[in-house]
Chains A and B, each alone.
Chain A
Amino acid sequence: MSTTSTTYGARDHARAQAGTVTETMPAIPASTWPDPPAGIDPAKLVWAETVAGGGYTHKVLARGTELRLTDLEGDACAHLLLFNADQPWERLNVADTVKVQWNAYLGEAIALLSDQARVLATVVTDESGKHDALCGTSTVDGNTERYGDGSPQGESPSGNALFTLAAAKHGLTPRDLPPSLSFFQGIHVETDGGLTFTGSAGPGKSVVLRTELPVVVLIANVAHPLDPRPDYTVTPLRVLAQRSAPSTPDGPEWTASPEAQRAFENTADYLTARGIA
């Protein structure tokens, strides 16, 4: 008879698992994160987690939070969606993000714009430079064709499948999912419109975003749809978020362009009327 054949034995077995530490898991509370890097104050941490390759995570963050994403081993790909947490029908708009700022690529001082012409978050630090705002994420059918499986709990989950699950946990459905951004695996647009996959900047690179509104963050750490490697290749992503302060009118993000400045002004106008800033 096994030790788990009785209720008491099964309970003891379950409880004995507590305290297990694995490479990919969250720290709860976040302030217990064991090895905060320079620039991170553990007392201010609100989210500390290592997301497995093929995993997803999600969180509601206050305005003025610094969200640091780190590609630990060089093959992470952080597919990202943002929603206004107070009214999730307002969401990331990648077309406006690239069009309004006259720039196809993500990088420092780029504002991640909502469809209501407000700033959901800004890119404040970028050590990678290898990102993508055009190709979106992978699909169940695409991953099934390429890797033999695209199901959310299979060997090579697709970004769409994981976003669908993450969104569901905030009451959102596939209709609420617009095109996403991805960080740490780049593409380049050639003169003829063709796309070249430029891959990763290598291990250890970080990107820091600052939230400018209260946001729902959805992250799927899955292979980029144009990743040419035959095997599904994606390594752990570190997520560390700490309390900070939103951009101010004299900050480099606010003054990055006349368009960004108007987006911050629109955001301030909304927050003022709403009574939250």
Chain B
Amino acid sequence: MTIVSDTEVAARAPYSTVLRKGETLAIVDLGGNQAVDFLCYDAADTAKRYSAAATISAQRNIFLTTGSVLRTGEGAPLLTVVGDTCGRHDTIGGACSKESNSLRYGQHTRYQHACVENFLTEGAKWGLAKRDLVSNVNWYMNVPVEQDGTLGIVDGISAPGMEVKLRAETDVLVLVSNCPQINNPCNGFDPTPVRMIVTGGDV
């Protein structure tokens, strides 16, 4: 197996890469309980992008795990989850932003770090802008829905060394915000680094 790249993404930092078709991205939760906000796009046409709705509808389930296929708005596969030692990942909570934090916790959070800032900054390197940001995946984040519809971000079920592996079904641009959130338990209130390992599709 050829290692194409092996990158440690610091707590609160962004990351992006293009996976070639057949390559695999492993996202390793180094410290445990770290939410990894994640968007992906068809690298050849970024208007074809991850759709939470199409992904949820196709698999009829809001959680992602091994076998889940991340799909574009038209239903085309971008990435397949081919390994997952955690077992539950979120599709419905979206990213924290300075704006949404003002609603969730109060106006005092306006100057705190937020994932949308990372997505905007890192996305700009690839010609992406605000209109390209949609509901995203949150790897390792635990968002259950109670039977009365109450939902919320609760303590994670991840642990140090847990890993999710994604296989690219076409050339895919990946955009990540290693979530800086400190007001809810998605990170255990303590953002930690993650590791991104891209391996070749030659095995």
User: Interface residues, chain A, CB within 8 Å of chain B?
Assistant: 89, 93-96, 98-100, 102-105, 113, 115-117, 134-137, 139-142, 160, 173-180, 189, 191-195, 225-226, 259, 262-263, 266
B150 lies within 8 A of A139 (CB): no
Instruction: Give min CB distance, B52 to chain A, whole Å.
Output: 6
Nearest chain A residue, comparing its CB with the CB of B138: A95
Residue of A nearest to B104 (CB): A100
Whether A193 pairs with B74 at a CB distance below 8 angstroms is no
Bound complex: CA A15 to CA B193 (Å) = 70
Alpha-carbon distance A225/B60, docked complex (angstroms): 10
A192-B61, A193-B145, A266-B102 are contacts. A141–B76 as well, Cβ < 8 Å? yes
- Size bracket, chain B contacts: 35 or more
New contact pairs (9) apart from A139-B73, A173-B47, A174-B47, CB-CB < 8 Å: A99-B93, A102-B151, A104-B150, A104-B151, A136-B56, A136-B57, A175-B47, A262-B103, A266-B99
Residues in A with CB closer than 8 Å to B63 are 192-193
B56:A135 contact, CB within 8 angstroms: yes
The answer to whether B99 touches A115, judged by C-beta atoms less than 8 angstroms apart, is: yes
> Which label, helix, strand, loop or mixed, suits the secondary structure of the B interface?
loop
Instruction: Annotate B134-178 by CB proximity to A: 1 below 8 A, 0 otherwise.
Output: 111000000111010111110000000000000000000000000
Question: Does B131 sit within 8 A of A, measured CB to CB?
Answer: yes
- Report the separation of the CA atoms of residues A142 and B73 in the bound assembly, to the nearest whole angstrom: 10
* Contacts from B to A (Cβ < 8 Å): 47, 51-54, 56-58, 60-63, 73-76, 88, 92-95, 97, 99-100, 102-104, 106-107, 116, 130-136, 143-145, 147, 149-153
Cβ–Cβ contact A99 & B153, under 8 A:
yes
Given contacts A99-B94, A100-B100, A175-B131, contact A195 B61 (CB under 8 A): yes
**Residues of A with C-beta under 8 A to B152:** 99, 102
The answer to whether A193 touches B61, judged by C-beta atoms less than 8 angstroms apart, is yes
